[in-house]
Structure 1
Amino acid sequence: MTFCAGALANAATLDVTLNAQDAPIQAVNTLEHQVVPTPAPQAAPVALPKGEIVQQIPDADTDEEDFESLSEAVAAQDAPASLDSELNCLAVSVYYEAKSEPLAGQLAVADVILNRTESGRFPRSVCGVVTQRGQFSFVRGGKLPTPPANGQWKKALAVAQVAMKEQWDSPVPEALYFHARYVNPSWKRARVGSVGNHVFYR
């Protein structure tokens, strides 16, 4: 009787094995036994319930550096071999409008110009915003002056790069206008804040 039961058990096992071999390959690809392609080795695999193993995929923007401070972001910028017109227009604006301001104030000025390009109320290019008639006093006859190649220019250029790459948030993120503290315009605009010697408005 024991022999028969063992034989039946072996037969049942054999029958299951044969059925598994005869089953289509798709039957194995269930949620419990999902086949996951081996990803490129970029991060340690993570074990999930039911024995699944998948690779953690890094965020899409991890190629951008994270900086501890604005000064670190500015210091990390390399001077470009050649300046494209948009970066040049932004850097010249930062230099002539805010070269004596703290880095946050320089970034705020750069972001005002970039905000204008996206607002729909101003030209869509940086150079168009900067050379728009009556907007910036350093512009003469629609032309930009050439800054001296000194440390303040290098800093203004680096701040412009940080602003264009969106590597640091502006202290006045929605500002579209600004003026020096000693000016008292009759604007009826919403004040966003002040940074250094400038007051910013929406």
Structure 2
Amino acid sequence: MINMLRAGGAAAAAFAFVATATFAGPSMATDVDAAPAVNPVADHANATIDAGRLAEASANSAEAVAAAAEMVQVAKAALPRPRGLEELVVAYAGAEPADEEEECLAGAVYFEARGESLLGQLAVAEVVLNRAASGKYPTTLCEVITQPWQFSFVNATGSIPAADRSSEAWSKAVAIARIATEKVAGKLDDDVLWYHADYVAPSWGKRLERADKIGTHIFYS
């Protein structure tokens, strides 16, 4: 049984924080190759805290604060780190679209941004998702993408062309679509609804607020 520590002041407050803190950082992949769960007690069995040393430290506020800070670092080290976008794409690589909506989104990523960085591809997917949720555009991803005069890759019949499904670009596009729909990564605000390539200058861009530039695409809200 863990002995109760009667360290006063900052040490006691920090200890209470360590005991009750939860991880509020970025979300992590859950369905595919998720990072293993971490048991702070098991993984840090050797990083135990000397109760006697803490009791002595309570008499010295500076020493108590230092001891409490060490406890916080031990607790933080026990938590799983967020996975980067590259790792997430690798985790989802080889997956097939879960449904028609995800397939449409992967098509938009593939045709609009397969030459962009992973972050640039994800940003394009985010714009599609933002539009569907905005109330200003159709409510489904497929309808947003095939809406006339919105995405240049959609042909005259309003359908999405066939992608090379054996290509690495398609595999990444599907992964990006899954990451975007599950919201495990992303950086654009919800009101970012438009973008264009940096080698064109559409008149509507002047009426909007520039939000970001990622690769060759400029994004607006």
TM-score, structure 2 normalization: 0.61
Match of 2:74 in 1: none
1:182 aligns with 2:196: no
Deviation at 1:137, TM superposition (A): 1.2
CA distance in 2, matches of 1:106, 1:48: 52
Q: Which has the larger radius of gyration?
A: 1
CA distance in 2, matches of 1:96, 1:152: 10
1:110 aligns with 2:125: yes
Report if the CA contact (8 A) 2:95-2:174 is conserved: no
Q: Render the CA deviation track for 1:166-191: whole Å, top value 9, x for unaligned.
A: 11122565410000000101121111
Equivalent position SS for 1:76 = helix
Structure 2 stretches lacking a partner, 5+ long: 7-18, 35-80
Residue 142 of structure 2 is aligned with which of 110, 116, 127?
127
Structure that is richer in helix per residue: 2
Q: Cα RMSD (Å) of the superposition?
A: 2.9
Q: Render the CA deviation track for 1:121-144: whole Å, top value 9, x for unaligned.
A: 001110010011110111121111
Structure 1 stretches lacking a partner, 5+ long: 1-43, 50-54
Residue type of the partner of 1:189? L
Equivalent position SS for 1:163 = helix
Residue type of the partner of 1:142? G
Match of 1:74 in 2: 89
Alignment length (residue pairs) = 154
CA distance in 1, matches of 2:150, 2:105: 14
Match of 2:171 in 1: 154
Identity of aligned residues (%): 39
Deviation at 1:45, TM superposition (A): 9.3
Report if the CA contact (8 A) 1:193-1:199 is conserved: yes
Question: After the TM superposition, which residues 22-171 of structure 1 pair with which residues of structure 2 at under 5 Å, given as runs?
Answer: 64=30, 65=34, 67-81=82-96, 83-140=98-155, 141-149=157-165, 150-171=167-188
TM-score, structure 1 normalization: 0.67
